[in-house]
């Protein structure tokens, strides 16, 4: 079966908001064995919504729609839906109860007129109740196509998809298997990697697709294959994965939903080791990445964000003369920062980064994007210089991922 | 004039990658006075690409296409383009020179076979040279529609759009004015805000559209209007903005591309004050937000990410008995953290956050999402309790924005 996705909202068409809902819906559908054919975005105009529904509904088993179901005046989707499905709005008591319960959790007792209107739903749809917000989802059938309308607020849509809509679809239909497997690599360029893998690529079995997805210093290699029998596909992919490991053993660091921070966290936890960071140019990004992982408090002690030189000397015990002599962006300062934060927090390992994120602060010898990274363990302290040469956001991200990867490589040596 | 956007890539349709390119292209086109009508995403299949070009080209002056121009085997867009525009690939010497120059900057001297193939471009297009990568952009005309193909790597596409394509369009066509103005508010819910603004909304002049865009605790109110004369539109919007300020003076904190961290940075710089943070549950997010702003080193001293209780007591001088008595997530600990980091870094102001980000660590008295935030200035220390009650990512973001807003409100009191 196949699906199309339609997102509604002028904010998408003027580029004010990035459409993250489509990616989530697409990922959930793929996991369930439904192929997404196309994604469409249209504006908050009745004619455009109708044109979008026609386009998305054409030759598709499902259409998943988000946006335009909020309580405010710019939300005209519901009226347009009624017209499209030849339906009328009726007050739904169950939905009204849900709205009352939801706003009650926020300490409100009185339902506003705008919230009350959200309890009015088209009479020809199946209502899917929303426990995370005030707008319910609505499911219609029209000439064999199922149309599912959801609110555009991401966490509401996500709750509806995973808790109710996907289970309902699995219940109603028998679906084929789609298997995706993603291999994460760090430390290569796309063209070089493709060249190394050229021969392997040529011998891949028919129907197995490979895509290269570069971003943030990481290249993701995605395997995709579909068929009637999941285990056959999994076996085919595993066989090719093994060959890949023979060709590029050093640069593979994870799979699928893994992130560098998650992989590092697992390696720390496995070894029962703790970590801390001393961040200058990354400004808290590495700590923020590490602590985005649930359970990171088991291995993350804390960090010092040492933007000013005084904090480097006073808190991290960096030698002030070394800063004068070699500059704050130097190998010896990076290594002293790593040792300093390790001592301060009592952690087993540490990461330190000092560099020039930009746009200002560069010099001919140390251009914007120059970064020194040090990693310290109970065994040794190592350091490496990078020149990323991008804009501020890019340099911060690249330095953070490179620093975490350096720790990952050191952890592999331990045990 | 109007445009459609087409993004090509299986990674979008399986939800592995969020399409951020469309939002950037849409924003640039809108600024230039070109209305984006629809956005389409299709997969890496020749038939789908051709269907996408037909859909996007239908009744549109421009089609902007990204994706599928990389060097690897999964990139079949170029061959499909040739078929669609009845063109053939020819080696372009200028593009080859650009590729040579680009890989030279990375210290490589030999062009790989894959990179050389990127110098082959369709003979019937205008080539737009790319200084940030190896794939050039290509501009075709077909039955009065202009098709512009760009590589999908975001920073390459961005460079091509702003440096070459938008200036070229402005040069070739005379465009009407589209004006968007966004007002950023913090501290209200969408439905409540809409109710407060109901009467004002009703009296808006014809053609002026308002949209509510909630996210991360912030509600953005977007004004949109188009017409032949820019100044007339600006005056109309300014007049309504003034009225809005009369109705909701307390909750407006910025405009357009402002972010909470940018506004706070401006306020600190204006007052010549410095800041530091003591972060527990936000794990470096607040510091990372502050330092994402270029020039933040002028007012940001540094932070302590105090995940473990020992760091709270040893480095931030929090009383260990208070942690035992009141818990790490408590008013007195938050206030001591704020004062501690202020003293440690010698900053004028500070922010401290301690809370339960989740998914574990909650209790009936202090459920997941409970956060204490303290802000300290040279005048006083204040603190406030929040219960966000979302998932880990949501709680961290909401706590970070709320903390920055508390500092912003304190700064308004100073001077």
Give per-residue pLDDT as tens, A1-51. 999 999 999 989 999 889 999 999 999 999 888 999 999 999 989 999 999
Residue range A366-391: average pLDDT? Answer: 94
> Is the same domain home to A21 and A97?
yes
Q: How many domains does chain B have?
A: 3
Q: What is the pLDDT of residue B69?
A: 73
Residue with the larger pLDDT of the pair A149 and B102:
A149
Residue B140: φ, ψ to 5°: -120, 160
- At A408 the pLDDT is 97
| Burial class for B171, CB neighbours closer than 10 Å (0-12, 13-18, 19+) | exposed
A412 min Cα distance to partner chain B (Å)? 25
| Number of neighbours of residue B162 by Cβ within 10 angstroms | 12
Q: Which residues lie across from B354 on neighbouring strands? A: B372
Confidence band for B384, pLDDT divided at 50, 70 and 90: very high
pLDDT digits (tens, 9 = 90+) for B124-142: 999 999 988 888 999 999 9
In this prediction, residue A71 carries a pLDDT of 67
pLDDT of A70 strictly over 70: no
pLDDT band of residue A138 (cuts 50, 70, 90) is very high
- Out of B125, B157, B172, pick the residue that ends a domain: B172
Is A123 in the same domain as A223? no
For the record, the structure tokens of A411 come out as: 């952890």
- A76 and A19 part of one domain: yes
Query: By percentage, how much of chain A surpasses pLDDT 70?
Result: 98
3-class SS shares of chain B: helix, strand, coil, % to 5: 40, 25, 35
Q: Predicted confidence band at B277 (pLDDT cuts at 50, 70, 90)?
A: very high
Q: How confident is the model at residue B71 (pLDDT cuts 50, 70, 90)?
A: low
N residues, chain A: 415
Distance CA A391, CA B157 (A): 14
Whether the per-residue pLDDT at A216 is higher than 90: the answer is no
pLDDT in tens, B1-31: 999 999 999 989 999 889 999 999 999 999 8
| Same domain? B80 vs B54 | yes
Q: What DSSP character marks residue B189?
A: -
B186/B401 Cα distance (integer angstroms): 9
CB spacing of A191 vs B19 below 8 angstroms: no
pLDDT of A73 > 70? The answer is: no
Among residues B146, B172, B198, which one ends one of the domains? B172
Beta strand pairing status for A120-122 and A252-255? Answer: unpaired
Please report the pLDDT score of residue A74 as a whole number. Answer: 60
Q: What is the predicted pLDDT for the residue at B70?
A: 67
* Contact (CB<8Å) A294/B25: no
Pairwise CA distance, residues A298 & A301, whole Å? 8
The answer to whether the beta carbons of residues B166 and B22 sit under 8 Å apart is no
B16 and A220: CB-CB below 8 Å? Answer: yes
Position A77 scores a pLDDT of: 84
Kindly state whether residues B237 and B273 are assigned to the same domain: no
pTM of the full structure = 0.83
Of B255, B290, B317, the position where a domain reaches its end is B255
Look at B195 and A112 and tell me if their CB atoms are within 8 Å: yes
Of residues B33, B24, B47, B262, the one with CA closest to residue B154? B24
Please name which of A285, A283, A177 lies closest in space to residue A225, comparing C-alpha atoms. A177
What number is the average pLDDT over the span B371-379?
A: 97
Domain that holds residue A201: 177-255
Q: Does pLDDT of A106 surpass 80? A: no
What six digits make up the tokens of B289? 């937000």
Show the CA angle centred on residue B228, arms to residues B227 and B232, nearest 5°. Answer: 70
User: Do A231 and A266 belong together in one domain?
Assistant: no
CB < 8 Å to B209, chain A? 10, 74
Q: What would you report as the CA-atom Rg of chain B, rounded to the nearest whole angstrom?
A: 26
Closest approach of A203 to chain B, Cα-based (Å) = 13
* Same domain as A323, residue A219: no
CATH number at residue B314: 3.90.950.20
Residue B387 and residue B368 in contact, taking contact as beta carbons nearer than 8 Å: no
- Of B10, B301, B314, nearest to A308 by CB-CB distance is B301
Closest CA to A4 of A49, A64, A53, A54: A64
Instruction: State chain A's maximal CA–CA distance in angstroms.
Output: 79
Nearest-by-CA chain A residue for B300: A307
Q: Are A264 and A240 members of one domain?
A: no
Name chain B contacts of A119, Cβ cutoff 8 Å: none
Q: How far is A380 from chain B (nearest CA, A)?
A: 24
Judgement on whether residues A288 and A316 belong to the same structural domain of the protein: yes
Distance of CA B325 to the CA centre of its chain: 42
Banded pLDDT at A189 (limits 50, 70, 90): confident
Mean pLDDT, chain A, rounded, equals: 93
Most confidently modeled range among B168-172, B173-177, B275-279: B275-279
For the cut 80, the answer to whether the pLDDT of residue B94 exceeds it is yes
Do B135 and B69 contact (CB within 8 A), yes or no? Answer: yes
What value does the mean pLDDT take over residues B376-395? 93
Q: How far apart are CA A319 and CA A313, in angstroms?
A: 6
Confidence (pLDDT) at A347: 97
Q: What phi and psi, each to the nearest 5 degrees, are found at residue A229? A: -125, 110
CA distance A385 to A402: 10
**pLDDT at residue B73 is higher than 70:** no
């Amino acid at each position: 079966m196949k699906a199309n996705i339609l997102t509604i909202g002028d904010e998408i068409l003027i580029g004010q908001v990035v459409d993250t809902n489509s990616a989530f819906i697409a990922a959930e559908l793929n996991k369930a064995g439904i192929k997404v054919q196309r994604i469409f975005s249209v504006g908050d105009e009745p004619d455009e919504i109708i044109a979008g529904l026609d386009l998305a509904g054409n030759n598709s088993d499902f259409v998943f729609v988000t946006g335009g179901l909020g309580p405010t005046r710019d939300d005209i989707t519901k009226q347009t839906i009624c017209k499209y499905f030849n339906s009328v709005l009726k007050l739904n008591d169950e939905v009204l109860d849900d709205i009352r319960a939801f706003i009650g959790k926020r300490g409100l007792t009185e339902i506003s007129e705008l919230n009350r209107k959200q309890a009015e739903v088209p009479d020809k749809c199946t209502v899917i109740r929303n426990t995370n917000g005030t707008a319910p989802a609505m499911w219609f059938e029209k000439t064999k196509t199922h149309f599912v309308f959801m609110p555009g607020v991401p966490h509401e849509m996500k709750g509806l998809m995973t808790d109710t809509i996907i289970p309902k679809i699995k219940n109603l239909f028998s679906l084929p298997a789609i298997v995706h497997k993603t291999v994460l690599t760090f430390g290569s360029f796309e063209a070089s990697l493709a060249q190394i893998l050229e021969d392997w690529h040529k011998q891949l079995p028919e129907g197995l697709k490979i895509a290269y997805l570069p971003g943030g210093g990481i290249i993701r290699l995605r395997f995709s294959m579909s068929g009637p029998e999941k285990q056959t596909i999994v076996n085919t992919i595993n066989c090719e994965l093994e060959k890949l490991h023979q060709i590029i053993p050093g640069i593979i660091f994870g799979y699928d939903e893994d992130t560098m921070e998650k992989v590092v966290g697992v390696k720390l936890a496995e070894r029962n080791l703790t970590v801390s960071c001393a961040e200058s140019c990354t400004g808290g990004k590495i700590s923020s990445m590490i602590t985005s992982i649930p359970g990171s408090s088991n291995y993350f002690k804390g960090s010092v964000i040492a933007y000013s030189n005084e904090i480097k000397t006073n808190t991290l015990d960096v030698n002030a003369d070394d800063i004068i002599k070699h500059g704050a962006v130097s190998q010896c300062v990076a290594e002293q920062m790593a040792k300093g934060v390790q001592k301060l927090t009592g952690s087993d390992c540490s990461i330190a980064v000092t560099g020039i994120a930009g746009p200002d602060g560069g010099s001919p010898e140390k251009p914007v994007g120059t970064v020194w990274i040090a990693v310290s363990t109970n065994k040794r302290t190592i350091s490496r210089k990078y020149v990323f040469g991008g804009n501020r956001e890019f340099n911060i991200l690249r330095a953070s991922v490179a620093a975490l990867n350096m720790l990952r490589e050191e952890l592999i040596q331990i045990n």
